[in-house]
Amino acid sequence: MAAPVSTIDPETADGSLIPIEDRTPREVTHVGHTQITPDGVDVFNFAFDVTPARLIHGIITERGVLTAPYTEAIAKLFK
C-alpha cells in the first residue's frame, strides 16, 4: 500500500473510527460539463476506503517501507 506520511495518523489505532468521505456523484457521471452516464444511475463515490490490516504486507512512504508490526513501525516513523 502506498501512503504519504502526511496521511498516516499515529493516534488512530485502527480504521474503524475513520469517517469515509462520500464525494459528489457528479465526479463520476460527468467529464467537465458533459454527462457521460444515463440519468438515474446509482453512484457510490467514496474518496478512499480502509484496507484491512491483514491484507497489507507493507506501507510504502516517502521515508521508506513500513512492515508489520505496524504499531511499532508507525511509532518509529514519527519519533
Q: Which residue in 24, 30, 29 sits closest to 45, CA to CA?
A: 24
Q: Please report, for the chain, how many H helices and E strands are present, in that order.
A: 2, 4
pTM above 0.85, yes or no: no
Residues 10 and 73: their CA atoms lie apart, in Å, by 10
Read off the pLDDT of residues 8-62 as tens digits, 9 standing for 90 and up. Answer: 999 888 888 888 999 999 999 999 999 999 999 999 999 988 888 889 999 999 9
Query: Alpha-carbon distance 78 to 19, whole Å?
Result: 23
What is the dotted CATH code of the domain comprising 5-77?
Answer: 3.40.50.10470
Rounded Cα gap, residues 18 and 76, in angstroms = 22
Q: Where does the pLDDT of residue 63 fall: very low under 50, low under 70, confident under 90, or very high at 90 and above?
A: very high
Q: Where are the domains of the chain?
A: 5-77
